[in-house]
Every structure is written in C-alpha cells, then in structure tokens.
Structure 1
C-alpha cells in the first residue's frame, strides 16, 4: 500500500507540475517469442533463397532456391534442377532440421545424392494455388487451348516463365536447367516439354501421372480407384492440405462397405464440395475430358525437343500406365534419339530410395542406388555439364534373373505367344480342342480384397500400400470366386519383355461386370536359402477391366446377359523370367476391393451412384478351349 500511495503521489505531482506523462496502455506482453526471428545459417553448406516468381498473368509462385556454397566464383558454374510440386516446397527442402543440403532434401527430394553429388542448384516451386503460391488450383491443370482451360496459363506456361526468371536472376548458375519429378511432379516435368524454354536442357519425368482414366490414379480401364477419395479431399479442399480426411474405421474394407457406393461415401465425407470430384462423377467414361488432357496425346502433337529420360516402376501402385504410354506415343517420331527410358523393379518413387527389396522379394543389390549412379547421374551431367555419357536408349531390370539390361528399344518382344486357359483350371501353350467353361459366382456383398484384411488405411508409412502389387496371391487363391489356372512345372525358362495382352472370353448372368486378370509366377514349394518364398505367388502383371466399356471406352453400354463376349486389354509392362522349377498361373476374379469400387453387376448409368438394390450376385463363366477359348498373349523373348 505504501508503494501504491507513493505512485499516486508521484503522478499527482507530475500532473500539477504540467509535465506530460502517459501510463502504458497495456501491461507487459506475455510472449517469449521475438517479433521477428533470425535463422542461424552459419552451419549451412548452401545458401537458401525463398522468392516469389511472377507469372505472365501476375500470379506469383513461391519458389525455394538452394545454392551450394562455393558456387559463386566457381570455375564451373552449377546448373539448376527444378521440381514443380503441389506438395509444399518449404517442407520438401527443409527435412530433418539439418543445415546440410543433402540431408535437408532427404525424404522428399528426387535423388539428393545425385543433386549434391552433381553440385546442382536445387529449385523447388509450389504450383499455383498450393501452399505458398498464389492463384487458383485445378487438379492436373489442363493446357491452354483446350476446352478444359479457359485461361491463358497452364503448367507449360508457368514452367516457361519460371525458367526464364531463374536464368535471369540466379547469376551463380551456368544458365542451364533440368526438370525432374515423381508422380504429380512427374506430370509437371512432362508439362515442361510443351513449348519448352530454350534453357531447359533435360527432363526426367519419374512415374508420371499421364492418363487418369486408362491406368493411372483415378481409374483403370473404367474401374474407379476409390481409395483416391481421401487424396482428392486433402489435395483440393484447402491450399495447404489442412483439412484432413477423417476416418472412424481402422479397416478400409469396413470403411468402404459401410457406405455402399463410392458416391455415397464421397458425399458423406464432404466431397460434393470439390470441383474435381464433380468432374470425376460427370466423366466416368474415357471421353474428351480425359483424352484432351492425357499427356501421351498432348505430347504426341509435336516432336520432342528436350532430351528426356522416362522412369517406370514395374510394380508402381499409383501410376503404372503413364511412362510406357508416353514412350509408345513419342518414340516412333524421335528421329534425334532424345527419348530414353529406365524400367526398374520398384514401387512408386522407389528409385530414389534404398531398393534392394520390394516387399518379400529380394533383388540381391540396391537397384535404386545402382540406377541413380549409373543412369540418372550421367544422364543429367551429360546435358547440363557436357560430360560424356554411356546410357543406352533403354535400361531395364529383369526380374527373375535380377540383372540390369542395356536395350536398344522397348518392348523387347511382341505379345504373340499364346498362353491358354484350359479346362480344370489348367494352363499351357497348346489350346484345348474341346470348348467348355470354368465358372464361379461373384457376390458384391463379399468382394475379393486386393490384400488381406484388415486393409489398413492407405498411406506411405507403416502399411502394405507401397508393396501390395508383389503381395502373395495365395491370400485369395483358395476362394471359390477366384479362378486359378496353373501350368506345369517349367523345365526351361520363359522370358517375357513387354505388356501381356488379355484375350478373355466370358459371360455373366448380370448386365455389367468387372474382370480382374493376374499373371503370376509360382515359386517352387521350397526355396533354398529363403524358406519364406516357398510356394510364393508373385504377380508379374495384373489389372482390371470394367465390362461396360467392352465395345468402346468412350461410352458405357450394358452387357448381354449369359452371352460369351470377348474382352481385350493389356496388363502392365513386365520384364521377367519364369525360371525352371517355377510354374505360371493366371487368376481371374470380378472384384478387387476396396482399391476399386464394386461393380453392382446390374447395369446402371453411374456406378458411383449405385443404390443398395443394384448390387446382385452373378454367375461368371470363362470360356476355355475351342475357337473362342481365353488366353493371354505373352511377349516371349525366344
């Protein structure tokens, strides 16, 4: 009280003396953070610049530039490696809280050992509408000049403007730029090839998104990959992926069965607010919406101008269609030999990781590191530093023998040798003379899973999603709704190099049906040195076809019930040797849940909106033997 009175007295004294004095408007700030923060950077082996690069329409794109120390004044100026991403440039370039550039890039970067080993300036940019970049966001933004993009900008123009700014504003560089990326970032790397900037000297699209309907992220031959619903929500709903897809069920099987159709689930999860989801619902066939933005079709309109290395993973669980499709579209007109391709034994993006195994399969060496050091590094250095290169047109890993091959082209063989489905669920290279069928009942209430339950929610850590394509198919071989045609024990190797082609003749008692076909390598009952592989059923290639698109991919049409009909579709690329002592198997089934939505087996205009009463059991009959017997045409290398 004494101090209070003294204070009041002092205040009265000052006021009566005519002195101007103002008490603090607020009390002390209760915050231990500084108003601004200065990041210590002395320990960094690089200089970090975060810049906002203006595009031609005034939108600014957030870009992180990492320049190795010593670049300024170096005898050989470094080139720039660019990645354009919707996945947060700041996070991708600041991993592990490390001041060391290679470590700061590790985990997200596209081969940090190659980046730092080559002394490159690393540039990572948020695409428009995502994270730090201005503008609106459109999934896989279509190109200017199509009916799908009414604006004057796209990923090609944004890449051009970005490279133009970089070569003018990063004096430490040698003025050459390469672009590299995986998945969505692989799509943006392909987009850079449309009207490329003169400073763009090389492109490495890895596992790129190319055609979302034919066989990449959203559909496979018309069957909807419903597990992508969570990705669509998180990727589109907010600029920074802040709104998470909330799931009560630990088992994805239970989650998807709870709602019935994919459309009902999406509505319950809020996706009706999302523009891209509305587009998916409106374009369930391979119509102009998909064809106008398919990258293989877009790029085929003009000759390739930039040296390009396509990277394909044989067991890519997300974008297994894309890279080979671009190769097929561009290579015939590649008169200057600018197009190369690498084919590795990897899951999606595994080329930049340790890759000595894939699930239970062992490759006897780190295939990712070998490829980065012997293919990726010299390829980039050749075009960005004029260093010599001994990289073949095609570098392909052959599973079975577990060896890398240097090839002059791809595929190495045409799909011509017929592997016939036989009565009694047999398999062989000679057809059965007598025609017959092998039957099963497909029940949408009890769909076949794509890996055993519980189906953990998909992601990238701690669950089977990255490696499910090499999962042991014995998990479903004994089901009564899965046919398993098995051949005899091989006494000599069977080598395939290309895409097997399914020629399935089958009938259904319904008016729509899905057909899943798998080409499988069955290991011997006992494997010396690796007992876990005894009897293993390794899928070499498998895919799904939605029956309603049998006549034309661009329009859904009902099937004629109880009538044998022909279905022809490719399985993914394979480069494999079925070794002596192994057997070949072909499995046929009619569901692949919950990866793909269930076909109700009753024709409805929109399967995404199918009602509970639409889902019915169907008797499926696969034709074997005779003139119309089912077979797979294998690209056998004699």
Structure 2
C-alpha cells in the first residue's frame, strides 16, 4: 500500500511531513502563494468542507503566470505532502514532470485524520452503510465539487491519480462519481488485504510490513515516525517477539486500530470482504481508468491485476485499460532502466509517463490528441519487449505443467512412479529468511533495499536443508510464459498446520557469455505463500490431518516472461519466509497471532511427486514472438 513507507512515500507522492503539519487557514482566506524554487508552479493551502462539516486540507499547485483554463489533477493520500517534495516532483526532472510541463492544476489532499485534515483516519475506510454516511468516495465527490466551483481558471474537468494508497483512493473515486470526474489512473492499488496485498497473502500474515506500517501511521495522525527496532537485523528482533497480539500495547503504549483488526479477524470474514476494492467499485465501468501494475511490486501486484480483471466484466464501453511494466511498487515514477541487476532495455518509467500517462490525461481532460492506447501494454521480461495487446492474458497458449521428480529434477513429463517424496524439517525457531541476513529495518534506511528484494538472487536459499529445489535441464529453446501460474502441491506434515511457499525462478547459465553478476543467478519470476489451515476454506480454517498427503493449489499470479535457451527453470518449496511472513506454529491454534511459545514446534514436511500425487507448476506456454 506504500512504497517503503517513509522513504518510498516521499518518492511516490513527493513528500511526507516528518513533524506536525503546518497550520492552514480556511479556504475563504487563503494565504499568499508560495513560489517554489524548482518547478514553474506556485502553491496555495486550502481547507475543503465535506458534507458532514469536516474540513480536509489540500495544496493547490498551479502554473505560474498561466492564462486560460486548465483541468484539475487530484491525488489523495494519508502519507502527507511537503511543499519541497511536491515542488521537486513537478519539476522537469521529477516523477510528475511530464504532466507538469503540459500544465494542469494539481491538488494534493490529506485524507481524513491525516496531517492537516480534520476527522478520524480509518485505514481503507469501507463504503458508507447509510445514506447520510461518509467514505472516501463521498469525500472525493465533495472535494471535486468544491474545487470546480472555487478554483479560478479550471475547465470543469477533473482527473484523479495516485500510487499505492493513492491508487486505491483513485479507484474508489469511481463510486458514484462526480460529473466532473472524467478520468482516473489507479496505480498499484490494493484489492484484497487478506488474499494477496499488503497485510496478508492467502491468510498468511505479512508481519514485517504490517508492523512497520501500523507503528509509523497510527501512533500519531500528524506524523510518520519510523519505529525504532534498536537493532540492524529485523530477523532477530521479530524472532524474540512471542506475543504478537499484544505487540502494539507492549511496544507502543496503546492499541493501534489496524493491528487490533488483524488480531480480531484472523479469518476471511466480512471485515475483509467488505474492504475489497472491487466490492466497492461499480459493476459497470463509467469512468475511464488506466490501471497500472509492476511485475515485481513487493506490496501490491495482486491488487491492480485483480481490479482490472474484475472491472473487465462490466466494461461494456471500453473504458478499462491496463499497463504492466518491469517495476517494483511505484517504480514507473523513476527512470526505470534497471531493476536490481537486471537491465530493462531502456528508461521504461520515463516511457510510460511520456507515452502513456500524459496522453491519457491530455485526451480525457483537454480533448487533445487521440487515445492510441491498446487494451493492455504489457512488458515481457527476458526479452525486454513491450507488447500491445487486445486483452490480458493475450494468447490462449498451451497449458503445460512442469512436474517435480526425484533427485531435484523438473520436466514437462508427468511422473510415472507410484512413489516419490522429499522431506525436510521446518523449525519455527530457525525460519527461512526472505532475504540474506542481516535483514535491515524495512523501508526506513536506503541500504535496506526493501523495494528490490524480489530481485535478490534466490540461489543461496537452496543451500538450506529446509528448502527443496528442483530444476530443468538447460533449455533447448526459449520457453515463453504469458498468463496465470499455479502451483499444484501434494504435501503432508507431521503437525496440524503448515505454510507452503513456492517460488518459480529463472536460472541463468554460469558460462562466460553471461554477465558476471548474473552467472548462476536464480531470478524470481513468480512466488507466493499459502497458509495450510485455509486449504478448504478461508472462512473456516481447519487443522491438517498429520501424515496425510493433501492437495494445495497456490496462485502464483501471472507473468509475461521468456526463459531463454540455455537457462534452466527452477522451483523452490519451503515452509517459512521470515519475517516477511509470521511464523506458523505448525500446531493448529484458533488464532496464530495469539499463539504461545509452547505452540511453536518443529515438524517434518513432505512434498510428493508420483503418479498419484503429481506435484507441478501449471503455466500458459506460448510460441516465442519473433
């Protein structure tokens, strides 16, 4: 939901106020404009009244000396905006420099209860349940209504944009939209926090991220202060936390609303279902929406892809569009020539902003140019090619399965033997780290590189005894994958609960033709975790029967990737991913966040690969486009 919280929020939305928000005057008596030093824009603070009397703070930035009417571009966020950061973002070299150069009236608004805005902050506030209620959709409507009526020089057309939480507020702006809302771009928006976005994946709690987010955002509505771990290795710090349910009261001095929601809703109940973005958005698409996702988004990849797919069902007018690029969370706001050690063939972020985002708003808000926008722009990794597609997934390729075999072998041939399994001991006292140690405090220090952990080499983890590994022979020809990927795992445990983590990797050759820093590297293409207790139902978890081989279908989401000739395809399976994911006690308890130290026990897990239990990775394999 945020790109690395403090540091990355600054990059995404120009600024986070480190201390208290400056006092602002009511809109009736705006202060004098502040002339920025880098951009050609000037700023004004306003307070915008909502239907319930609450005033929301916003900064209005307009091009200096411009004569004539301009459309309004608005973004809404809980992360705060400093004038210096906005000024940098609107400069020629900034993340919104292309839009700024074309001239719009920009509005940056703090949502309820955050920084300069009045009211109560509610994380991902659900839709109102009464006619006179409020939610983010009504606040957006009221803000647009005030802006078009009170800002001089606007042309009556408004676009809403944003990344992460701002992408979510852009998505819900389409709920009962104001007539002046003509276009949105919802970028890296979460969709379902229990199934696949920031806080949980398939019921497994994203401990490190959730704690860092809650402790920074909910301790004080006027600040964004990083939690002091008191150590450089978050792995050790989290390993010592035995009472997760009470962490907020114990370490922050009081209950944090979101943390207690995590504790109170361990299963997929109405709390989670009602907060799904697609549950909020209208069934019929009425406002043009450019949905943007990054293949290696470490926070919200599931969100934009699922929102796009769900909105397609009601897109009778052809207003729902998709861009998927080679980016981490919000990476398209940067230059985008590289992700980790991987060259991307050019400045992909700059290309997106110039060739896609700017023409999008010029067309819908200014009536300039034509919309040369395919249904989907999709970046194919491995070949570093952009594809113009009439839909996503684009091709009904041949569905093929890569099967696990003895001795770590992986092939498209189904197993013929009646027996076959590999086992390992999963010990909660020594969980598999999600990256090389030391795992620095996420988000808070540049050297932690939280934004690029998916680019980390996965090869070192195969040296652990609690990570199973399979690989193909070197490929005789390119293998191109485009579409959904699913792991079909047959597995057992001696315990009564278990997590299953599956990674699909591209293994680079070790020869002299391969760049030195990529030789033997295992590049993660798809991944996810599944909490075993939810095998039959997310709503009603159940203990696993010890020793019984059960089938787990794990959504690894989608990819557009070319495994090159001479590379190998690899699969890793493990049962912990710490502290990205909290530890599973491996003994069934009703609520893992309330598990006691004695509940955590080492167990033996087995993955089967036989004729009766053919564990595999299913993916759509298509001919390589020449």
TM-score normalized with structure 1 length: 0.89
Q: Deviating runs (4+, > 3 A) in structure 1?
A: 37-44, 103-106, 264-267
Moved more, 519-528 or 172-181: 519-528
Indicate the residue corresponding to 2:400 in structure 1: 417
The one-character-per-residue Cα deviations of 1:568-589 (angstroms, maximum 9, x if unpaired) are 1211321100010100001000
Matched, 1:303 2:284: yes
Matched, 1:246 2:228: yes
Q: Is the 8 A contact 1:115 1:122 kept in 2?
A: no
Q: Is the 8 A contact 1:84 1:125 kept in 2?
A: yes
Q: Is the 8 A contact 1:271 1:277 kept in 2?
A: no
Give, in angstroms, the shift of residue 503 of structure 1: 0.8
The one-character-per-residue Cα deviations of 1:550-582 (angstroms, maximum 9, x if unpaired) are 000112211111000011121132110001010
Q: Is the 8 A contact 2:245 2:260 kept in 1?
A: no
Counterpart mapping for 1:152-171 below 5 A:
152-171=133-152
Indicate the residue corresponding to 2:99 in structure 1: 115
Query: Relative to 1, partners in 2 of residues 1:128 and 1:417: Cα closer, same or farther, differing over 3 Å?
Result: same
Give, in angstroms, the shift of residue 241 of structure 1: 2.3
Indicate the residue corresponding to 1:189 in structure 2: 170
Indicate the residue corresponding to 2:541 in structure 1: 556
Query: Relative to 1, partners in 2 of residues 1:420 and 1:101: Cα closer, same or farther, differing over 3 Å?
Result: closer
Matched, 1:445 2:429: yes
Indicate the residue corresponding to 2:185 in structure 1: 204
Q: Is the 8 A contact 1:85 1:127 kept in 2?
A: yes
Give, in angstroms, the shift of residue 364 of structure 1: 2.2
> Using the alignment, how far apart are the partners of 1:586 and 1:522 within structure 2?
10
Q: Is the 8 A contact 1:95 1:105 kept in 2?
A: no
Aligned length: 587
Moved more, 58-67 or 360-369: 360-369
Q: Match of 1:499, SS?
A: strand
Indicate the residue corresponding to 1:62 in structure 2: 57
Q: Is the 8 A contact 2:267 2:541 kept in 1?
A: yes
Indicate the residue corresponding to 2:206 in structure 1: 225
Q: 2:35 aligns with which of 31, 41, 48?
A: 41
Q: 1:84 aligns with which of 76, 83, 87?
A: 76
Q: Match of 1:305, SS?
A: coil
Indicate the residue corresponding to 1:134 in structure 2: 118
The one-character-per-residue Cα deviations of 1:455-493 (angstroms, maximum 9, x if unpaired) are 000016221210001110012011110011111110111
Counterpart mapping for 1:147-546 below 5 A:
152-227=133-208, 228-241=210-223, 244-270=226-252, 273-299=255-281, 301-387=282-368, 388-413=370-395, 416-434=399-417, 435-459=419-443, 461-526=446-511, 528=513, 530-546=515-531
Q: Match of 2:90, SS?
A: helix
Q: Is the 8 A contact 1:425 1:438 kept in 2?
A: no
Q: Match of 2:245, SS?
A: helix
Indicate the residue corresponding to 1:584 in structure 2: 569
> Using the alignment, how far apart are the partners of 1:615 and 1:432 within structure 2?
35
> Using the alignment, how far apart are the partners of 2:438 and 2:84 within structure 1?
35
Q: Match of 2:231, SS?
A: coil
Q: 2:84 aligns with which of 81, 91, 94?
A: 94
Q: Is the 8 A contact 1:234 1:243 kept in 2?
A: yes
> Using the alignment, how far apart are the partners of 1:529 and 1:583 within structure 2?
13
Q: Match of 2:580, SS?
A: coil
Matched, 1:621 2:621: no
For the pair shown, the structure with the greater C-alpha radius of gyration is 1
Moved more, 532-541 or 494-503: 494-503
Give, in angstroms, the shift of residue 180 of structure 1: 0.5
Query: Relative to 1, partners in 2 of residues 1:242 and 1:316: Cα closer, same or farther, differing over 3 Å?
Result: closer
Indicate the residue corresponding to 1:602 in structure 2: 587
Indicate the residue corresponding to 1:103 in structure 2: 91
Q: Match of 2:407, SS?
A: helix
Q: Match of 1:619, SS?
A: strand
CA RMSD of aligned residues (A): 2.0
Give, in angstroms, the shift of residue 239 of structure 1: 1.1
Q: Is the 8 A contact 2:34 2:44 kept in 1?
A: no
> Using the alignment, how far apart are the partners of 1:237 and 1:104 within structure 2?
36
Give, in angstroms, the shift of residue 70 of structure 1: 3.2
> Using the alignment, how far apart are the partners of 1:320 and 1:310 within structure 2?
11
Q: Is the 8 A contact 1:516 1:591 kept in 2?
A: yes
Give, in angstroms, the shift of residue 517 of structure 1: 0.2
> Using the alignment, how far apart are the partners of 1:471 and 1:51 within structure 2?
44
Indicate the residue corresponding to 1:125 in structure 2: 109
> Using the alignment, how far apart are the partners of 2:428 and 2:224 within structure 1?
35
Q: Match of 2:307, SS?
A: helix
